[in-house]
Amino acid sequence: MRLSVILITVFSLLSCISDVNPTYEEDNFITSQEDIDQTELEMWICHNPDSELHGKVCTEGCLVDGDYHTFCWHLDTNECEHDFLTTVIEKACIEVGLL
């Protein structure tokens, strides 16, 4: 009986392990110039706190080779239409001219 409880507990815990992170979608980030070139018509925002480009429309100058803390994130333009916006989203919407 005790072994059954242990096995069920271990199985239950192991079944929760996953390689997939639903809050992180790889397609929502740009990490190279090639990615920027392929998505010219979409709204991408620079994330590079050490740069004056931080929070602005993504350009090649935003990205630092080998530094995966610098990237561009996809701005869903529908987010700019909500009544409540986070500070980051609001600044990005203003930057791209949607507010």
Q: Could you read off the pLDDT of 35-91 as tens digits, one per residue?
A: 555 444 468 899 999 999 999 988 888 988 888 889 999 888 788 888 888 888 888
Q: pTM for this structure?
A: 0.56
pLDDT band at 33 (very low <50, low <70, confident <90, very high): low
Task: Determine the pLDDT at residue 46.
Answer: 92
Rg (CA), the chain: 20
Task: Determine the pLDDT at residue 23.
Answer: 47
Total domain count, the chain: 1
SS3 of 72-99: EEECCHHHHHCCCCCHHHHHHHHHCCCC
**Alpha helices, H only, 1-99:** 2-14, 33-38, 87-95
Task: Determine the pLDDT at residue 22.
Answer: 43
Order the strands of the 44-47 sheet from edge to edge: 29-30, 71-74, 44-47
Q: Is position 10 within any domain?
A: no
Residue 63: which domain range? 26-95
